[in-house]
Amino acid sequence: MIDTITLEVARYRPEQETEPTFERFEVPFNKDWVVLDALNYIKDRLDGSLSYRWSCRMGVCGSCGMMVNGEPKLTCATFLSKYVPGPIRVEPLRYFPVVRDLAVEMTDFMDKLKSVKPWIIRQEERPLSEGEYLQTPVQLDNYKQFSMCINCMICYAACPVYGLDHHFIGPAALALAQRYNMDSRDQGTDERLDLLSQHEGIWGCTFVGECTKACPKNVDPAGAIQQYKLKAATEWFKSFLMPWGRK
Ligand code: SF4
Ligand code: FES
């Protein structure tokens, strides 16, 4: 068993570097440690200036996503022991601009989430006196999988289509749209479909499926996109047969 393991950590301090570089750190090897523990060790004991994001340390907040040996991972759920004897290369999430060291700019991702109208849309609201909108366990199951997303952006770092075209709305935003489309209380599918049927929406996806493989929460964004494509194709066919109305 080894006592220490080497991390090669990407550094980018815009006030002193024009290009990212790598810095090597030797950290204690503990079989219970995840990559995030090693980064915290570096920050606490070796170099307090190292910048990265994390919060919950339990796969819930979605903020600790980074590239680990070339693959997008939640660093709080990725054990050092998987990479023995090392070295382990840690880089910021691919395809996003780097703000500093391992922290990336999230604005594009947040804008994409917002653009799919991720809220319940009603054509007609019921008066409060009629009570809440009830839902059966089966109706909940219809969309529950898509609601498990923690916005970690790992599926974007895994998606070659997003890598080539940043206008592509991307896997998590499409899964989020489907989370609301499949909700029995929602009546906004057509509104979202108009937006997402554009090239940058569902049709940009060439079904590589890497998003679903990489997702740490089993959300299956690739499945959501396929469902969406089927729906869009059906609606197009209906509008062709019945041009007077799309319902
Ligand atoms: S779909 Fe999965 S990989 Fe993508 S942001 Fe959500 S949890 Fe992360
Ligand atoms: S620290 Fe919250 S998901 Fe990793």
Cα-atom radius of gyration of the chain, to the nearest Å? Answer: 21
DSSP the chain: --SEEEEEEEE--TTT-SS-EEEEEEEE--TT-BHHHHHHHIIIII-TT-----S-SSSSS---EEEETTEEEEGGG-BGGGGTT--EEEEPPTTS-EEETTEE--HHHHHHHHHT--S---SSPPPGGG------HHHHHHHHGGGG-----HHHHH-HHHHH-TTS--HHHHHHHHHHHT-TT---HHHHHHHHTSTTTGGG-----HHHHH-TT---HHHHHHHHHHHHHHHHHHHHH-TT---
pLDDT digits (tens, 9 = 90+) for 75-90: 999 999 999 998 999 9
pLDDT digits (tens, 9 = 90+) for 131-151: 999 999 999 999 999 999 999
Report residue 104 as tokens: 């990336």
Q: What percent of the chain has pLDDT over 90?
A: 78
The answer to whether 4-104 and 107-241 have equal CATH topology is no
CATH topology of domain 107-241: Fumarate Reductase Iron-sulfur Protein; Chain B, domain 2 (1.10.1060)
pLDDT at 239: 66
Burial class (CB in 10 A: 0-12, 13-18, 19+), 19: exposed
Pocket test for ligand 2, best of 55, 78, 79, 148 (most atoms within 8 A of CB): 55
pLDDT at 125: 86
Report residue 22 as tokens: 């790598």
pLDDT digits (tens, 9 = 90+) for 6-44: 999 999 999 998 999 999 999 999 999 999 999 999 999
Closest atom of ligand 2 to 74 CA is 4
How much is the average pLDDT of 159-172?
93
pLDDT band at 237 (very low <50, low <70, confident <90, very high): low
Closest atom of ligand 1 to 158 CA is 3
Q: What percent of the chain has pLDDT over 70?
A: 94
pLDDT digits (tens, 9 = 90+) for 102-131: 999 999 999 999 999 999 999 988 898 999
CATH topology of domain 4-104: Ubiquitin-like (UB roll) (3.10.20)
Give the start-to-end residue ranges of the domains of the chain: 4-104, 107-241
Closest atom of ligand 1 to 150 CA is 7
What pTM value is reported for the model?
Answer: 0.91
pLDDT digits (tens, 9 = 90+) for 37-71: 999 999 999 999 999 999 999 999 999 999 999 99
Q: Is the pLDDT of residue 247 over 70?
A: no
pLDDT band at 219 (very low <50, low <70, confident <90, very high): very high
Tell me the residue length of the chain: 247
Burial class (CB in 10 A: 0-12, 13-18, 19+), 168: buried
Q: Is the pLDDT of residue 246 over 80?
A: no
pLDDT at 55: 97
pLDDT at 43: 98
